[in-house]
Amino acid sequence: MAKLSQDDLLAQFEEMTLIELSEFVKAFEEKFDVTAAAAAPVVVAGGAAGGAAAEAVEEKDEFDVVLTGAGDKKIQVIKVVRELTSLGLKEAKDLVDGTPKPVLEKVAKDAADKAKEALEGAGASVEVK
């Protein structure tokens, strides 16, 4: 097994949620029969930034609808793209021809889901990010 540096370990801890970090500390204490009481505030403080970042990602309120493929019914997909956006015929056709391209950016979850349903109904491949 490759040995991890202290920086590598800290980078891993930053990506963990507070719950995951707490479970790790408990497992560490059991494995090595030690108490991490003195180190716990330091570890939790370091993990708090990672936990806060993870919570921010989970509570995302803006989504991008990305067209990944036009499918067999390209004309139908172009019509739906025009309905969803204020693009003209040429711009919508260029967007569909140049996949993968974002159709809508920074929209609410329900608007993204409706756009995805409409595009998939027309035969397109869609991804919500």
Per-residue pLDDT tens over the stretch 56-79 = 555 677 888 888 888 888 889 899
Q: How many angstroms separate the CA atoms of 21 and 55, rounded?
A: 14
pLDDT confidence of residue 18: 82
Q: How many angstroms separate the CA atoms of 15 and 8, rounded?
A: 11
Q: Which of 39-45's residues contact partners 24+ apart within 8 Å by CB, and which partners? A: 43/13, 44/18
Confidence class of residue 44 from pLDDT cuts 50, 70 and 90?
very low
Q: Which one, of 71, 57, 51, lies nearest residue 125 by Cα? A: 71
Q: For residue range 74-102, what is the model confidence (pLDDT) as tens digits?
A: 889 899 888 888 788 888 888 888 878 88
Structure tokens at 80: 């739906």
Per the model's pLDDT, the better-predicted residue between 81 and 45 turns out to be 81
> At residue 120, does pLDDT exceed 70?
yes
Structure tokens at 14: 């930053």
